[in-house]
């Protein structure tokens, strides 16, 4: 993996990890760092972010994020060299991660691939504008216990997919689905995965189910056709997506198998019409290029399975609409990542944090009451469909190509707990404002 810009000398740590010597070896030593803090921009995904829990800006305006450094800080004298870690220490830290077993890695396999872990770690840190030589414990965990293990699992999935074809064949890209509730960090995870694939020399593109929402006019028509149904009043639930656009987009992306083939990928502008949203102008859509190897497709309801109507009476219209979603979305996905939460109440807090951050950045954001109302429209679907998703896996998924990631309230991976299912009697804090 070639470095994005000037950085430490090439890392070769495999022998150091395998050694039985007890002396700690320096991983590398920090030098002047300010000249290496240039913003990293990835074409078609938006500007990079410093905070792990924030997401890239996909809006048509492409507003630049705050860097978190004032002009005075940017020109401050460099700190003296600081010893960061040792290869052995980082190796042990990686081995302690909750996802190691799930991605099929042993301590021996980690030792053999330690250079890959270190190189990916440097790239991810720089992507989020973090000093890779001075990571906090939380930042180190997010990189080496979450983003890198998931990326390595995805790489294995891509390699396995491509190995099924003969040399000279047109190999369609692998579609990897990421199903996770809103605010759980899926968009930022996909942002990091897409970046790592590109740095590794693999063409990739990203999609969200949000990209396929109905236009503003069509959403208004849906609302008018379902008077009194708050679940279909605004975008979000099954029925508020343009499934034909989904099928056309995914089928076209799967044909990007040759060099110099290109296509525009739809995007949605959530800030349009005072936050009600509309499809972004096609002139602002990013471009995917062939030969494409990976499509990262994320969404809060990917893999949901329709249930008997008598089980979900309050969701009858949504449940009926959901029956068409397998053919439009799930059948294209061959490998799945499911981020599993312990309780849907977390969605409200996460969404509230995101809106507060948006307002702090000077962008339009919902009030606390509007967040309550917005999230309350999704909660019935979470309570209805998450238990089946967690018990049986996504609709049409293969257990051999499924990675389940349990996360805590801080959105950090944890060791899986025995079948903790969302409860059906949860209600959001405070009453919805106008449901």
Q: How many domains does the chain fold into? A: 1
Question: 144: buried, middle or exposed (CB in 10 Å: 19+, 13-18, 0-12)?
Answer: buried
Q: What is the CATH number of the domain that holds 253?
A: 3.40.50.300
Tokens 């198998």 appear where?
A: 257
pLDDT for position 13: 52
List the chain pLDDT tens, one digit each, 435 residues. 333 333 333 334 554 454 433 333 334 333 332 333 233 233 333 333 333 434 444 333 333 333 333 333 333 333 333 334 578 889 999 999 999 999 999 999 999 999 999 999 999 999 999 998 889 999 999 999 999 999 999 999 999 999 999 988 999 999 999 999 998 999 999 999 999 999 999 999 999 999 999 999 999 999 999 999 989 998 999 999 999 999 999 999 999 999 999 999 999 998 888 878 999 999 999 999 999 999 999 999 999 999 998 888 889 999 999 999 999 999 999 999 999 998 888 888 888 888 888 778 877 777 788 888 888 889 999 999 999 999 999 988 999 999 999 999 889 999 865 444 433 332 222 222 222
With DSSP H G I counted as helix, E B as strand and the rest as coil, what are the percentages for the chain, rounded to 5?
Answer: 40, 10, 50
Question: 368: buried, middle or exposed (CB in 10 Å: 19+, 13-18, 0-12)?
Answer: middle
pTM value surpassing 0.75: yes
Question: Is 434 part of a structural domain of the chain?
Answer: no
How many H-runs (helices) and E-runs (strands) does the chain carry? Answer: 15, 11
d(CA 336, CA 184): 16
Nearest CA to 173 among 258, 46, 58, 267? Answer: 258
In Å, the largest CA–CA distance within the chain is 72
pLDDT for position 274: 80
Question: Is 119 part of a structural domain of the chain?
Answer: yes
Question: Is 308 part of a structural domain of the chain?
Answer: yes
Q: Which domain holds residue 231?
A: 14-406
Tokens 């109302």 appear where?
A: 373
pLDDT for position 273: 86
Q: Which two tokens stand for residue 246?
A: 């989904």
pLDDT for position 79: 38
Question: Is 421 part of a structural domain of the chain?
Answer: no
pLDDT for position 369: 84
C-alpha distance from residue 107 to each of 17, 18, 96, 100, 104 (Å) = 10, 10, 10, 9, 10
pLDDT for position 72: 33
pLDDT for position 271: 83
pLDDT for position 283: 95
pLDDT for position 101: 94
Tokens 């349009």 appear where?
A: 272
pLDDT for position 17: 52
Question: Is 420 part of a structural domain of the chain?
Answer: no
């Amino acid at each position: 993996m070639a470095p994005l810009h000037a950085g430490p000398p090439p890392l070769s740590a495999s022998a150091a990890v395998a050694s039985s010597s007890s002396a700690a070896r320096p991983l590398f030593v920090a030098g002047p760092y300010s000249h290496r803090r240039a913003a990293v921009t990835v074409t078609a995904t938006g500007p990079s972010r410093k905070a792990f829990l924030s997401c890239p800006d996909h809006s048509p305006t492409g507003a630049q994020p705050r860097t978190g450094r004032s002009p005075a800080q940017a020109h401050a004298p460099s700190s003296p060299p600081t010893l960061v870690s040792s290869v052995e220490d980082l190796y042990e830290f990686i081995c302690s991660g909750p996802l190691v077993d799930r991605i099929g890695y042993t301590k021996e396999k980690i030792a053999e691939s330690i250079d890959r872990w270190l190189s990916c770690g440097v790239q991810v840190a720089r992507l989020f504008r973090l000093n890779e030589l001075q990571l906090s414990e939380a930042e180190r965990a997010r990189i080496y216990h979450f983003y890198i293990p998931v990326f390595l699992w995805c790489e294995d999935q891509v390699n396995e997919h491509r190995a099924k074809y003969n040399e000279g064949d047109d190999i369609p890209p692998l579609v990897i689905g990421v199903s996770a509730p809103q605010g759980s960090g899926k968009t930022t995870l996909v942002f990091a995965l897409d970046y790592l694939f590109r740095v590794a020399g693999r063409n990739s593109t990203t999609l969200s189910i949000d990209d396929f929402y109905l236009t503003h006019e069509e959403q208004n028509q849906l609302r008018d056709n379902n008077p009194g149904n708050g679940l279909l009043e605004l975008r979000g639930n099954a029925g508020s997506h343009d499934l034909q656009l989904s099928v056309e987009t995914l089928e076209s992306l799967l044909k990007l198998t040759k060099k110099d083939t290109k296509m525009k990928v739809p995007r949605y502008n959530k800030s349009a019409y005072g936050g009600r949203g509309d499809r972004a102008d096609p002139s602002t859509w990013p471009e995917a290029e062939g030969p494409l190897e990976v499509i990262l497709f994320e969404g809060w309801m990917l893999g949901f399975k329709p249930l008997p109507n008598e089980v979900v009476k309050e969701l009858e219209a949504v449940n009926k609409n959901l029956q068409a979603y397998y053919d439009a979305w799930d059948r294209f996905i061959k490998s799945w990542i499911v981020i599993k939460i312990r309780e849907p109440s977390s969605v409200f807090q996460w969404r509230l944090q995101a809106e507060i951050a948006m307002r702090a950045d000077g962008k339009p954001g919902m009030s606390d009451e509007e967040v309550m109302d917005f999230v309350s429209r999704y909660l019935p679907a979470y309570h209805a469909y998450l238990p089946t998703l967690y018990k049986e896996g996504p609709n049409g998924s293969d257990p051999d190509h499924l990675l389940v990631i349990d996360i805590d309230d801080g959105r950090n991976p944890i060791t899986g707990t025995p079948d903790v299912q969302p409860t059906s009697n949860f209600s959001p804090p405070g009453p919805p404002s106008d449901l």
